[in-house]
Structure 1
Amino acid sequence: MHDAKWIRDNLDAFDRGLNRRGLAPLSDQVRALDERRRASQTELNTLQRRRNEASKQIGAVKKQGGDAQALMDEVAGIKTRMAALEADNAAADTDLRDLLMATPNLPADDVPEGPDEDHNVEIRRWGEPRAFDVAPREHFELGPALGMDFETAARQSGARFVILRGSMARLERALAQFMLDLHTTEHGYQEVNTPALVRDTPLYGTANLPKFAEDLFKVEGGYWLIPTAEVTLTNLVAGQILDEADLPLRFTAFTQCFRSEAGAAGKDTRGMIRMHQFEKVELVSIVHPDQAEAELDRKTACAEEVLKRLGLPFRTVVLCTGDMGFASRRTHDIEVWLPGAGRYREISSCSNVGSFQARRMDARFRPAEAATGAGGKGTRPVATLNGSGLAVGRTLVAVLETYQNADGSVTVPEALRPYMGGQEVLTPDV
């Protein structure tokens, strides 16, 4: 969420940022609601002081046996006026909050402009796509003979679900364990096991609500299934005031994720690319705002390292203003090469959200000067960042397509063999 005071002081910059996202200006609406809210609050404060003074005067007059009716009538009028002002102040505050909650974050100045993914900018590539003697197959062509069962999953749950059996299931688990071990032992992330069900508040905090309710699964009892562990990991600091010395905080979790894929009809209907239920290793950082851009680069490198260790070619792009997410200031997408599909596909999206989520969650830190009593005052919102480290199902897809053999078997990457009990090849069940 945006800071109304910052908007008030930077009206043109706010509208320019929205314009870069292809949105209409909102500064006039924000300013009008903010002025209305502040004006009513100022008058309320004035009336409150006068009511207190008049109440004291009433007591003094009565004590002296005088007539306090005029003062009592004034107090009654003040109470009536204050009730109206309180209602108007609350309405203006709600309208302003609703407007700001529905307004996306502003892109960083160096984010490339453009309306869609065709305007994203590649910043690097790693690895050379493997050359095959025959045309490589896609994962949903290889998978069924190796334990990837879409038919049974469809009978149980419908489209966009899969059942993994035997070595295929173990390979997925191996990928998750490998990622967690790498991020916790070498990259400094703390592993966390979080709930898969949350109430409304955490989703408002990460900006999934109110705008993206249709992308989520809501269940009975007022719960939502998490679309990613970004929700639960970022909200670990919700409502807290941290000391600057506590930063940065880095969390990782392996969870099931649930997305309705609203608006994705007809897209990626075959295979494991776009599922209602999938597994992901999430990376979340809570940092000093001045360190957010450096942390984005660090997080992106952590996610890239997974692909390097698995020998999976990839490219990294910075998303343009028209393709970046609602809460993001800057996003790096890592796209892995899929030989069967013959294209790069997103496998990780790493975003610097700045203080956008922190304001929604009321997550703050106390600057070092204030913590030590050296003259600093107040608190500041932290900055939050998130990214996939990686999407496990899509990594499984990339492994299958990259390491496939002519006989339908798949070679297990060396980095995963310790997690597979030494197994080197996945063999089709003829």
Structure 2
Amino acid sequence: MHDIATIRCEPEAFDAALARRGAEPVTARLLDLDTRRRAVLTELQDAQNRRNAASKAIGQAMGSGNTEEADRLKAEVTELKATTLPRLEEDARVLGAEMDDMLAAIPNLPADDVPEGAGEEENVELSIWGEKREFDFEPREHADIGPMLGLDFEIGANIAGARFTFLRGGIARLHRALGQFMLDRQTTENGYLECNPPLLVRDEAVFGTGQLPKFADDLFHTTDGRWLIPTAEVSLTNAVRGHIIEEAHLPLRMTALTPCFRSEAGAAGKDTRGFIRQHQFEKVELVSIVRPEDSEAEHERMTQCAEGVLQALGLPYRKMLLCTGDMGFGARKTYDLEVWLPGQGAYREISSCSNVGDFQARRMSARYRPESGDKKTEFVHTLNGSGLAVGRTLVAVLENYQNEDGSVDVPEALHPYMGGLTRISPE
């Protein structure tokens, strides 16, 4: 959400920043609404002042015996209460709602160091980690390895339809081990507080993090008006909605391992084969709430926390800086981590870490109180990232640790979570 006062002061700069994202200019229409709304509010205030003054004058007129003047004033007050004030209040409400709807539909502005570009082809590779394994056989994709190990796409589809998978046996345990390992690492080594948040949330929660109103079709909606979370970012970030946090309590770092649910309405036809893009999946989410001056450093830290999981698992990856045309709606700067999948012969996204600035905080009215008592409260900055997506990490393990006989070695970091199992073999 954007501040209309800032737009009012720097309309050209605002439109120029939007243009970097490929968005159309909006300030002319916004400022017209803002001017009309403020004019109505001024008229409303004048009418309220006139009502109050006339009401007071009625008593004075009655006291002096001027009944004619008292009757005239009474008629004026009646007209103000019955007609003028309701009309002006409704005009202000309609104009305010229209302006709020416009502001809610505008994406976040990109940080100055975000490269311009129209799509993922123009993202910038910042670094590469790890050595790609040399195979003495032709590596296979996870969709060909997995079914022999208990990754059952057929049963999942029979139960729930496309983009659902049924895991059993050793691969189900490996999936669980990955989630537990990630959660333990983020809490014990990286200082995130483990949380167990709601999976169903209200409208204001998904509005607060930016999924509503623009991306409603990408979410699952229940019959009682709630939304299944597309990521624990929604629940964790909304933990501070409507709060004023003492500066001494910042930064707040929270993590959760939860199921996530996405309708994938905007991804029709993409990754229909395999375990990459599912309607239901698990993810370890990282959320930070910080002071504005700390958000850039926190973004680097959060990304390193996600990278550490890949490094501990020995999975080669690269770090990408997303261009303006490939960033998410609420992000001002995003790093993607893309893991190497030898079966596909390609890097695929496994984590996305974003600095959102005060964009979500304004939508949620989340502030902090500076320790210096003479300062007003300020909006916090929020950040979110994957640490990591469990299903995609399972895919990466299957492809990078596969053997020619169809078995898959368990990465050493997961051995303590596997009850002594160091290799998963075909059923």
TM normalised by structure 2 equals 0.97
Query: SS state of the match for residue 359, structure 1?
Result: helix
Matched AA of 2:400: T
State the match for 2:415 in structure 1.
417
Distance in 1 (alpha carbons) for counterparts of 2:269 and 2:239: 37
Matched AA of 1:59: G
Aligned length: 424
State the match for 1:150 in structure 2.
153
State the match for 1:15 in structure 2.
15
Query: SS state of the match for residue 175, structure 1?
Result: helix
Give CA-to-partner distance per residue, 1:228-256, whole Å, 9 cap, x none.
10110000001111111111101100011
State the match for 1:261 in structure 2.
264
Cα deviation, residue 264, structure 1: 2.1
State the match for 1:38 in structure 2.
38
State the match for 2:220 in structure 1.
217
Distance in 2 (alpha carbons) for counterparts of 1:128 and 1:305: 16
State the match for 2:294 in structure 1.
291
Asked if 1:28 corresponds to 2:28, the answer is yes
State the match for 1:90 in structure 2.
93
State the match for 1:231 in structure 2.
234
Match of 1:310 among 310, 313, 330: 313
State the match for 1:59 in structure 2.
59
Asked if 1:350 corresponds to 2:350, the answer is no
State the match for 1:405 in structure 2.
403
Match of 1:324 among 324, 327, 333: 327
Distance in 1 (alpha carbons) for counterparts of 2:277 and 2:72: 73
Superposed, 1:74-89 pairs within 5 Å as 74-79=76-81, 80-89=83-92
Match of 2:385 among 384, 387, 394: 387
Distance in 1 (alpha carbons) for counterparts of 2:207 and 2:84: 34
Matched AA of 2:93: A
Cα deviation, residue 300, structure 1: 0.4
Distance in 1 (alpha carbons) for counterparts of 2:207 and 2:359: 11
Give CA-to-partner distance per residue, 1:373-392, whole Å, 9 cap, x none.
xx22x211111110000000
Cα deviation, residue 76, structure 1: 3.2
Moved over 6 A (4+): none
Distance in 2 (alpha carbons) for counterparts of 1:153 and 1:114: 38
Query: SS state of the match for residue 368, structure 1?
Result: coil
Give CA-to-partner distance per residue, 1:102-157, whole Å, 9 cap, x none.
11111111100010000000111110111101110111111111111111111111
* Percentage of identical aligned residues: 62
Distance in 1 (alpha carbons) for counterparts of 2:318 and 2:214: 30
Cα deviation, residue 46, structure 1: 2.2
Query: SS state of the match for residue 30, structure 2?
Result: helix
Matched AA of 2:351: S
Distance in 1 (alpha carbons) for counterparts of 2:52 and 2:32: 30
Distance in 1 (alpha carbons) for counterparts of 2:42 and 2:384: 40
Distance in 2 (alpha carbons) for counterparts of 1:182 and 1:129: 24
Cα deviation, residue 199, structure 1: 1.6
Distance in 1 (alpha carbons) for counterparts of 2:172 and 2:197: 22
Gapped regions of structure 2 (runs ≥ 5): none
Query: SS state of the match for residue 265, structure 2?
Result: coil
Distance in 2 (alpha carbons) for counterparts of 1:263 and 1:14: 28
Question: Which deviates further from its counterpart, 356-365 or 50-59?
Answer: 50-59
Question: Which deviates further from its counterpart, 393-402 or 44-53?
Answer: 44-53
Matched AA of 2:141: E
Matched AA of 1:353: V
State the match for 1:69 in structure 2.
71
Question: Which deviates further from its counterpart, 136-145 or 46-55?
Answer: 46-55
Cα deviation, residue 4, structure 1: 0.7
Distance in 2 (alpha carbons) for counterparts of 1:220 and 1:195: 17
Cα deviation, residue 172, structure 1: 0.6
TM normalised by structure 1 equals 0.97
Match of 1:247 among 242, 250, 265: 250
Cα deviation, residue 267, structure 1: 1.4
The RMSD of aligned alpha carbons is: 1.0
